[in-house]
Structure 1
Amino acid sequence: MSVIFDRRSIRRYKDLPVSEKDLEGMLRAGMYAPSAGNERPWQFVVIRDREKLMKITEFHPFTQMLKEAPVAIVPCADMRDLKYDGDFWVQDMAACVENILLEGTARELGTCWCGVYPKENYVRELSALLGLPDYMVPFSVIAVGHPNESREVRERFNRSRVHFEKWSL
C-alpha cells in the first residue's frame, strides 16, 4: 500500500539515466495489468532521444517535464482485432499506465502521466512523430527519471465520497 500512497506526479528530474533493468520492470508491470477479455491491447514506444522528447513539448503543453526527463514511455493501443465493441481498451490502457507508475515508484523513480488520447491533435502529432501505423493509438506519455523534487503526501481518503447500497448525501 505504501507504493500506492507514496506515488506522486514528478515534474523535475536529475540528469541521470534510467537503467534498462528499471525500464523493463516498469514495462513488465504494465503488461501485467488487467484487461477486458485478457485482450492486452498495449504496445510501447520508449523514447530517449532528446530531440524527440523536445518535439513532444512543442505540441503538447502539459509535457514540459520532458525537457528534463531522460526517458518517456508511450503506451499505445493496438486497435487490430479488438474483441469487444466499445472503448474497453481505454480502461485497459489506464490500468496498464497505473501499473507502470506504481512500479516506477517502487523503484524510487519519478513519473508523470500525461494524457494523449482522446485529444485528436495530440494523437495525430505524436503518431506522426513516432511513425505509428494507423491501427496504433498513442494513449499517453509517461515521463520517467530520477526525481529532483519531493511532493507532499496528503491524506486523500474521504469517507463522504463513499455510498452504500444507494446514493446518500
Structure 2
Amino acid sequence: MAFVACYRKECRMPEYAPIDLSASVENLLLEADELGLGAVWLGIAPLRDRMDKVREVISIPEELEAFAIIPCGYPVQIKNQQNHYEKERVHFVE
C-alpha cells in the first residue's frame, strides 16, 4: 500500500502547501509506526520530472500536484530504534 500526498494548485495560500503536507506526512509516518507498519517518505516535490511522472503513472487530476509518496507495509524484520543523541554536539547560546 502507498499514500500519495497531493495539494491543490489553486489553494488559497499555495506557498504553505509544502509546510502543511510535511506535517501531514510526518503524522502519517508516526501513526504507521504506532500501528506496527513500516513506512518511508519518498520526496517528489519540487522536482518537476518526478511530479509529472507520478501524475502520469497514477492519473492524478490536473488540479492537483504530487508532493510525496509514502509506501507502507508490514516489515519483515523489526529493529529497535537507536539513540543517536550525542550530548557533546548540542550547544546552547544565550
Greater percentage in helix: 1
1:132, 1:155 → 2: CA distance? 39
The residue type equivalent to 1:164 in the other structure is V
1:79 maps to which residue? 9
1:114 counterpart (39, 42, 45) = 42
TM norm structure 1: 0.49
The residue type equivalent to 1:144 in the other structure is C
1:155 corresponds to 2:89:
no
Query: How many Å apart are 1:152 and its aligned residue?
Result: 4.5
User: What CA deviation, in whole Å up to 9, does each residue of 1:89-146 have, x standing for no partner?
Assistant: 1111110000000000000111111111111111001011222223311111111111
Identity %: 24
Does 1 or 2 have the higher relative contact order (CA < 8 Å, sep 6+)?
A: 2
Question: 1:83 and 1:145, CA in 2 relative to 1: closer, same or farther beyond 3 A?
Answer: same
The residue type equivalent to 1:150 in the other structure is I
TM norm structure 2: 0.84
RMSD: 1.8
1:129 counterpart (57, 72, 78) = 57
Partner of 1:139: helix, strand, or coil? strand
Unaligned runs of at least 5 residues, structure 1: 1-70
1:128, 1:76 → 2: CA distance? 14
Greater percentage in strand: 2
2:16 counterpart (72, 88, 98) = 88
User: What CA deviation, in whole Å up to 9, does each residue of 1:41-81 have, x standing for no partner?
Assistant: xxxxxxxxxxxxxxxxxxxxxxxxxxxxxx11001011223
Query: How many Å apart are 1:153 and its aligned residue?
Result: 1.9
Unaligned runs of at least 5 residues, structure 2: none
